[in-house]
Chain A
Amino acid sequence: MCAQVSQIVPPPRTRTNPEHSALETRRLSMRFGNRLVLDDINLTVRQGEFLCVVGPSGCGKTTLLRLLAGLLRSSSGELLAAGAAVAGPSRDRAMVFQDYGRALLPWRSVWANVALAYEARGGSRAERRERAFALLARMGLAEVGEYFPGQLSGGMQQRVQIARALAQDPRVLLMDEPFGAHDAMTRQHLQDAIARLGGERRITTVFITHDLEEAIYLGDRVVALAANPGRVLETLEVGLPRPRDQLGTREAPLFLKHRHRLFELLLPGTRPHE
């Protein structure tokens, strides 16, 4: 069985050119009408890194991610994916939306939702089903493969969406506050699931969140954005060892130092009054 599965799961991709960064924005700006939402964003996402973007609401985090996905076109500036200009959405850049309830197809079973990513590539239904189940097993969802999304908890639905994103075998995973709608405990489970996945696959990830600690816990680097208009304030190298764990990592001096710095940057005036 194991041998069979390893045949089905494709080998890691080698077509990426290591000289190019996974994603690069050059003087990227975005206006909606008169409102400048993103101003002069210069970002480089390295191959295989986990980049977190934090910022207050309204700083254009989601807009930035939608630009990276190709779902939006920037008003000015350049966007390169692996060295090539981005013209629109691509299978190479998978998107995990925050609102999993709207992004999953309620009439398709869990495995068929995941297998949607295989359909454009052809292959028999049985083959797609087997590949979907192999992926679901890695996400700890094999038992619910035949269920419908509406029958699962929110955390499980979000994992289904992540599985579907992985099924499209992307070079870059774009995640838009994927755990924002979950309770604290579910969020920690999901964080660990995604961190484990990063350990297995080293898939380049851009992760949007408003949770500063989540950003430090997950990221190799953290980009802090300011609002009105959205612009890069600072980029932190996290430098915490992996694998990380919810207790030890969050108590590490370096973690607390980063947390302190991000708080100062993004939430000035949160010190107790004299």
Chain B
Amino acid sequence: MNRALSICRGALLPILLVGLWEAGARTGVLPPGTLSSPAAIGAASLEALRDGSLLWGTIETFETALCGLAIGSIIGVIIGAPLGLSPMVEAVVGPTLDAIRPVPSMALLPLALLIYGFGVRMEIMVVAFACTWPVLIVTVSAVRAIDRRLLEVARVLELPWLLSMGRIVLPAALARIGVGVRVAAGIALVVAVTTEIVLNPRGLGYQMIVASQSLRPDLMWAELIWLGLVGLAFDLVLRAIEGRWLARYAAVPVS
């Protein structure tokens, strides 16, 4: 009951804004060339859903965003874990990484284009580059924060390196790494869509720039709103995964 009430209250402002928007568009107060009426956007959405272009664009965008996220996360963890474990490694590798990190991922586009040409792979490369950093930074601090006692347990048990990484270091850092991956997921979507808008002829980003350039603001808005919804759903899914699988790794030992 309370929940329903709070949802209603939260929905009040958006409904009001959309109502004003619709009224403004109908009376001609708002410029029709950029701000299409909500009704027109709704119609364009239905059309794009029906002909499958929205769905197809989403699949294409997520294909690269997810692959890039996965590759970037794995690289981030593989580089980050030894950095967090050993001040020596940190001292040797850290400065180089600090020098590479400020390079904007978008600045990699020309290089990626040279290497792979247009298509999936160049987009994945740029997304992966962008996703590596948040995961790497979080992994370094998460591994550094692992209780030394657990590492001593691994030593006394004489666990081989790979086992102590897999059984102790990574699980102990997993909950925090999960947060880094979620941050990277948001970045992955941004970078994928941006790459599609500025360069790569595929996915939702490309569809949006095409709609914009063919003077179809209604379709462009439809895609923009869709993208927002899909991004929200993506974040919710990641949160659910975190809650379901990673929560117990965050358990504070009771003593």
Contact = CB atoms under 8 A, between A and B. Distances in A.
Do the two chains belong together in a single complex? yes
Interface of A: 69, 71, 88-91, 93-95, 97, 99-108, 116-117, 119-120, 148-151, 154, 157, 168, 181
A154 B254 CA distance: 8
A71 B253 contact: no
Contacts of A154: 255
Nearest to A71: B152
A105 B159 contact: no
Contact of A120 (B147, B149, B150, B157): B157
A100 B249 contact: no
B248 A103 contact: no
Contact of B157 (A101, A104, A116, A150): A116
A102 B159 contact: no
Contact of B248 (A107, A120, A181): A107
Contact of A102 (B150, B156, B163): B150
A102 B158 contact: no
26 contacts: A71-B152, A88-B155, A89-B156, A91-B156, A91-B158, A101-B254, A101-B255, A102-B255, A103-B150, A103-B152, A106-B248, A106-B252, A106-B253, A107-B172, A107-B249, A107-B251, A116-B153, A116-B157, A119-B163, A120-B157, A148-B251, A149-B253, A150-B252, A151-B254, A154-B255, A168-B157
Nearest to A174: B156
Contacts of A97: 149, 152-153
A117 B159 CA distance: 8
A117 B157 contact: yes
Contact of B253 (A69, A89, A150, A168): A150
Given A71-B152, A105-B168, A89 B252 contact: no
Given A94-B156, A95-B156, A106-B251, 9 more contacts: A71-B155, A97-B152, A101-B254, A101-B255, A105-B171, A106-B248, A120-B159, A148-B248, A150-B253
A89 B251 contact: no
Contact of A89 (B158, B248, B249): B158
Contact of A93 (B156, B168, B252, B255): B156
B255 A120 contact: no
A89 B153 CA distance: 10
Nearest to A168: B157
A120 B163 contact: yes
A261 to B, nearest CB: 34
A104 B253 CA distance: 8
Contact of A91 (B149, B157, B172, B253): B157
A115 to B, nearest CB: 10
A104 B252 CA distance: 11
B158 A157 contact: no
B28 interface: no
A99 B153 CA distance: 12
Given A120-B160, A120-B163, A148-B248, A100 B153 contact: no
Nearest to A112: B167
A103 to B, nearest CB: 5
Given A91-B158, A120-B158, A103 B153 contact: yes
Nearest to B249: A107
B147 to A, nearest CB: 5
A106 to B, nearest CB: 4
A181 B255 CA distance: 9
B251 A69 contact: no
B164 to A, nearest CB: 9
A120 B166 CA distance: 12
A120 B163 CA distance: 7
A100 B255 contact: yes
